């Protein structure tokens, strides 16, 4: 019985195994990125950047159809362009960077949907917006694995300045001039992971795999190293359970994965030992003299 429910879908069907590998690779890269976005109070930046890649991917689709290289390159160019433009506007005017990003991402979302609609059908639009995690081919799996590898290697090199910037950015600026470069490299990793996630979960859901596991992990530990590990494990578990629910109940796979990640967040919010609601409602008694 348990074999039929938990193992048989992955043992019997190649597309389920590919989806699981793709989700696991996405969680390995996006989970740690989501943790640092959360700690740097940039959670909504991930959502804005996810929408920002859409016009570039849509132009790639308009020119070459559902071509992995064209849509990936277009998404990267659009994501970096919006990040740089938002930063430039924030520095040249009185508009804050978050407001600038919001303006750009709204325009990007509308422009991307319009471009896809010019050539494609409703099915193509759904593919772009919500992804096709059950139809990952070898090239897409290699892309996701490559993104995860680059992300983990770069984070290993930038780990100390990233942690310092989260804890005490003023101190980092006083001891090093690398803060701006670290910030730009981190934004590049955000865009890279969102472009990878775009092929599996679409532009609307890719950020969910980045932020929901990170937010869930925050209720279980306050240590940054353990946060990244817990967020990654929650992401992989959410992907596995979401794919199984999708298979057994005939639900769309991408939304099922994100709904399970959302369920993990609600469970963590309720039961997490670090700031969870249960902990607040039933505080642990301390030793009394």
**Cα–Cα separations (whole angstroms), residue 102 to 52, 176, 243, 285:** 10, 30, 32, 45
- Give the span between the Cα atoms of 11 and 129, in whole angstroms: 29
* 81 pLDDT higher than 90: no
CB 275 within 8 A of CB 221: no
The whole-number pLDDT of residue 285 equals 62
Q: What is the mean pLDDT of residues 251-260?
A: 94
Q: Where residue 284 falls among pLDDT bands split at 50, 70, 90?
A: low
The whole-number pLDDT of residue 220 equals 95
* 289 pLDDT higher than 50: no
The whole-number pLDDT of residue 173 equals 65
* 255 pLDDT higher than 50: yes
Which of 216, 18, 274, 154 has its CA nearest to residue 208? 216
* 145 pLDDT higher than 90: yes
Q: Return mean pLDDT, the chain.
A: 87
pLDDT: which is higher, 162 or 127: 162
Q: What is the mean pLDDT of residues 102-119?
A: 82
* 256 pLDDT higher than 50: yes
* 169 pLDDT higher than 70: no
Percent of the chain predicted with pLDDT > 70: 92
Q: What is the mean pLDDT of residues 213-227?
A: 94
* 178 pLDDT higher than 90: no
* 222 pLDDT higher than 80: yes
Q: What is the mean pLDDT of residues 144-161?
A: 93
Q: Which residues lie closer than 8 Å to 243 by C-beta, 6 or more apart? A: 9, 16, 19, 20, 23, 133, 253, 256, 257
The per-residue pLDDT for range 10-57, each reduced to its tens digit, is 999 999 999 999 999 999 999 999 999 998 888 777 888 888 888 888
Instruction: Report the predicted TM-score, pTM, of the whole model to 2 decimal places.
Output: 0.89
For the domain with range 2-276, which CATH number is right: 1.20.1730.10, 3.10.20.600, 1.20.1270.10, 1.10.3470.10? Answer: 1.10.3470.10
**Cα–Cα separations (whole angstroms), residue 86 to 5, 83, 103, 150:** 47, 5, 9, 25
The whole-number pLDDT of residue 204 equals 79
pLDDT: which is higher, 161 or 286: 161
């Amino acid at each position: 019985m348990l074999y039929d429910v938990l193992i048989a879908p992955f043992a019997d069907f190649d597309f389920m195994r590919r989806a699981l590998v793709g989700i696991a690779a996405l969680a390995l890269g996006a989970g740690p990125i989501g943790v640092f976005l959360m700690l740097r109070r940039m959670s909504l930046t991930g959502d804005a950047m996810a929408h920002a890649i859409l016009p570039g991917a849509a132009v790639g689709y308009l020119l070459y159809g559902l071509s992995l290289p064209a849509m990936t390159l277009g998404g990267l160019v659009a994501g970096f362009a919006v990040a740089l433009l938002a930063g430039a506007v924030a520095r040249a005017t009185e508009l804050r960077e978050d407001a600038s990003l919001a303006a750009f991402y709204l325009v990007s979302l509308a422009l991307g949907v319009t471009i896809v609609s010019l050539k494609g059908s409703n099915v193509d639009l759904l593919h772009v917006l919500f992804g096709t995690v059950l139809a990952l081919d070898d090239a897409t799996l290699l892309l996701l694995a490559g993104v995860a590898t680059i992300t983990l290697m770069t984070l290993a090199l930038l780990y100390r300045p990233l942690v310092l910037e989260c804890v005490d950015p003023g101190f980092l600026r006083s001891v090093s001039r690398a803060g701006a470069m670290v910030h730009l490299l981190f934004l590049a990793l955000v865009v890279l992971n969102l472009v990878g996630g775009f092929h599996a979960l679409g532009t609307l859901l890719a950020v969910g795999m980045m932020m929901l596991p990170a937010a869930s992990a925050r209720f279980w530990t306050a240590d940054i190293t353990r946060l990244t590990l817990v967020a990654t494990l929650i992401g992989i578990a959410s992907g596995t359970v979401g794919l199984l629910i999708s298979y057994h109940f005939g639900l769309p796979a991408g939304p099922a994965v994100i709904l399970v990640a959302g369920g993990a967040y609600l469970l963590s919010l309720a039961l997490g030992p670090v700031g969870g609601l249960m902990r607040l409602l039933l505080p642990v008694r301390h030793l009394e003299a």
